[in-house]
Amino acid sequence: MIQTYDEALQWIHNRLRFGMKPGLERMNWMLEQLDYPHQNIKAIHIAGTNGKGSTVTYLRYMLQEAGYDVGTFTSPYIETFNERISINGTPISDEEMLRLVQEVKAVVERVEETKFGAATEFEVITLMFFLYFGYHNRVDYVLVEAGLGGRYDSTNVVEPLLTIITNIGFDHMAILGNTVDKIAFEKAGIIKRGVPLVTGVEQKEAIEVIEGIARDHEASLDRLGSEFTIESYSALENGEAFTLQTPIHTYENLELGMFGYHQVKNASLAVRALELLGQKGELQLSQADLAEGLKKARWSGRFEKVSDSPLVIIDGAHNQEGIKSLLSTLRLHYEDKQIHIIFSCLNDKSGKEMVKSLEGIAESITFTSFDFPRARTGQELYELSKHPSKKVNEQWQEAIEQALLHHAKPNDLIVITGSLYFISEVRSFLLRA
């Protein structure tokens, strides 16, 4: 019998040994045993290579500004595991997490005895999430972030009010495929019959795949750059400003407190999604609620300034597209700075491409590692680099302390990036210091 929060967390993490097992059969069987909690939620389902968490954040802040209670399911976490299941940005309590584990444990153990086999860690967390918002805490709206892909992701049992595919890039290619159209096919698996789809996908071959599947499912399709457009954009000292044109309104001078043109795109998707739901009579949201929600929105670990002196930014970019967005934002807001990179990533990521991109902007680059099963060694990354001022230090805390010591001049900027799991550890270390 699991009786403490620590025991509950250990039980969840023990499921890691079952790896990733795409498919929905186990999920459907377990949900049936729990009396279909997922059918009791009003959901928006979000998939995409990058920008899912930021898009969820914009949606949440705008809905909260209008007075709605909002549940979220996101991954990975930045500070505490409980963040993955949150209400209005507040993680559920340790007591609630313990109760959820106690409630799903018997079902999770029973499914192992069936033809469907053992449930993975992500499936168990997804099950707990559905149970929580389906029966224990019936909030107004639930924002569901897909874990990996879409078609066979365990979140894809949900019947949403609307779906969003943020973008398509190269990540998890061993599972999702190694071409844009194959990855698009997997992401487009979240499209449901008659359910509106909003997307920021740009590649022609990906758009063709998504358009075809949306047409087959009689799902309306709103594309950023087509049905709704960013008309103007400018960088602010503390974020971004833009004007968005939709089929029914021009939103002038919207302001974001998050940095980067990619965030303007993410915010635009969120605005159009809620606008569509408003048109369907699913919710009421004023222009003031929308503008204020966007302005207040913050998402930890995404181009986040954690120190002013010395200047330190952490960013969870963990694939080539994410690194490109990071570099674009650095050039826009900090082109006058000497940029010193501290980098670590997982061994299933495109390390070589990310390193090469970062070298183009870095005054110096330090490679390190961190305590995670799939983390690459600093030495491996060091050997991928051709930068004249490259260093390696396997102890990331030491690497950061050295950087803080040697790069504290007014024109220095320390950027720590490469993995959300890495950034999670770094953030708590720096904010404790």
- d(CA 41, CA 141) in angstroms, rounded, equals 7
Which has more confidence, 358 or 150?
358
Clarify whether residues 319 and 250 are in a common domain: no
Pick the last residue of a domain from 270, 296, 322: 296
Pick the last residue of a domain from 245, 273, 296: 296
Residue 176: predicted pLDDT: 54
Q: Give the pair of three-digit tokens for residue 1.
A: 């019998």
Query: What kind and span of H or E run contains 290?
Result: helix 287-296
Residue 148: predicted pLDDT: 79
pTM: 0.94
Clarify whether residues 138 and 282 are in a common domain: yes
Clarify whether residues 325 and 290 are in a common domain: no
Q: What is the CATH number of the domain that holds 412?
A: 3.90.190.20
pLDDT, average across residues 108-117? 96
Assess whether pLDDT exceeds 50 at residue 173: no
Query: What kind and span of H or E run contains 243?
Result: strand 239-245
Clarify whether residues 337 and 362 are in a common domain: yes
Clarify whether residues 291 and 309 are in a common domain: no
Q: How many structural domains comprise the chain?
A: 2
Clarify whether residues 50 and 183 are in a common domain: yes
DSSP annotation string for 292-359: HHHHH---TTSSEEEEETTEEEEE---SHHHHHHHHHHHHHHHTTSEEEEEE--BTTS-HHHHHHHHH
Residue 172: predicted pLDDT: 45
Clarify whether residues 270 and 318 are in a common domain: no
pLDDT, average across residues 150-161? 95
Whether residue 97 contacts residue 13, with contact meaning beta carbons closer than 8 Å, is answered with no
**CA gyration radius, the chain:** 21
% of the chain residues with pLDDT over 70: 97
Domain that holds residue 222: 5-296
* 236-278 pLDDT tens trace: 999 999 999 999 999 999 999 999 999 999 999 999 999 999 9
Clarify whether residues 291 and 318 are in a common domain: no
pLDDT, average across residues 42-48? 98
Clarify whether residues 38 and 135 are in a common domain: yes
* 278-326 pLDDT tens trace: 999 999 999 999 999 999 999 999 999 999 999 999 999 999 999 999 9
* 330-357 pLDDT tens trace: 999 999 999 999 999 998 768 899 999 9
Backbone angles phi, psi at 224, to 5 degrees: -65, 130
Pick the last residue of a domain from 262, 296, 330: 296
* Amino acid (one-letter) located at 396: W
Residue 178: predicted pLDDT: 63
pLDDT, average across residues 376-382? 97
Clarify whether residues 276 and 366 are in a common domain: no
Q: What is the CATH number of the domain that holds 280?
A: 3.40.1190.10
Query: What kind and span of H or E run contains 394?
Result: strand 390-395
Assess whether pLDDT exceeds 90 at residue 164: yes
Assess whether pLDDT exceeds 70 at residue 433: no
Clarify whether residues 346 and 267 are in a common domain: no
Clarify whether residues 92 and 140 are in a common domain: yes
% of the chain residues with pLDDT over 90: 88
